[in-house]
Amino acid sequence: MASTSDIKNGLCINHKGKLVQVVEFQHVKPGKGPAFVRTKLKNIETGRVVDHTFPSGHKIDTVRIENRPYQYLYREGDGFHFMNNNTFEQVFIDKKIVDLPHFLKEEDTCTIIFHADEEIPLIVTIPLFIEATVTYTEPGIKGDTATNTMKPATIDTGAEIRVPLFIEIGDKIKVDTSKGQYSERVK
């Protein structure tokens, strides 16, 4: 058991029978009344973020988690196969716990967060940036590169993003997966 003074970003706790991760916290000491900790808690199963206030000194039940690098192998049905690069152990992960599955590329190294005591995978986070090849986009018009106008494009993972007008089919681009948007062209 820990107390509210141990709360920090990324801490995983058991709150009201559910596993939640602290996204944001703030210790508040008002001029009048007792101190408290204001938090934003992300439900690991559903991804929903809720605000919760703990009184100062409140006991919390922490959960030990481990971040492990795994390589994405392939998709099968409603899930994905990943491999541990050290032990070559393969694990099948359900689609619902994979963060942004439409940006997964074979051989990408992802981070899988495991419940350390029960060896259960909780969250799969993909790399922040991926390099992808544009498989389809409408052709750009010569001289239309001066504006910040974007057009839809499909990349080799099957995801559709918006790219600048000068991007053509076959161009390699860098995609920011957290925002789901074009970052830059790769040479």
Question: Which tens digit of pLDDT belongs to each residue from 98-133?
Answer: 878 889 888 899 999 888 888 888 888 889 999 999
Q: Is 172 exposed, middle or buried (0-12, 13-18, 19+ CB in 10 A)?
A: middle
Q: Compare 85 and 145 and report the one with higher pLDDT.
A: 85
Q: Is 125 exposed, middle or buried (0-12, 13-18, 19+ CB in 10 A)?
A: middle
**175 and 163 housed in the same domain:** yes
Domain count, the chain: 3
- Residue 143 banded pLDDT, cuts 50, 70, 90: low
Gap between the Cα atoms of 106 and 75, Å rounded: 9
| Residue 143's CATH number | 2.40.50.140
**69 and 87 housed in the same domain:** yes
| Residue 8's CATH number | 2.30.30.30
Gap between the Cα atoms of 38 and 150, Å rounded: 40
**94 and 111 housed in the same domain:** yes
Residue pLDDT, tens place only, 9-52: 888 999 998 999 999 999 999 998 999 999 999 988 888 899 99
Domain end: 125, 156, 177, which one? 125
Helix (H) or strand (E) holding 158: none
**57 and 69 housed in the same domain:** no
**73 and 113 housed in the same domain:** yes
**69 and 44 housed in the same domain:** no
**Residue 174 pLDDT > 90:** yes
**Residue 186 pLDDT > 70:** yes
**100 and 143 housed in the same domain:** no
Q: Could you tell me the residue range of the domain that residue 172 belongs to?
A: 129-185
Gap between the Cα atoms of 25 and 42, Å rounded: 12
Residue pLDDT, tens place only, 42-98: 988 888 899 999 999 899 999 988 889 999 999 998 899 999 988 899 999 988 888
Write the CA distances from 177 to 38, 42, 168, 181, integer angstroms.
Answer: 29, 19, 20, 7
Q: What is the pLDDT of residue 15?
A: 92
97 three-class SS: helix
| 160: CB partners within 8 A, 6+ apart | 152, 153, 154
**134 and 121 housed in the same domain:** no
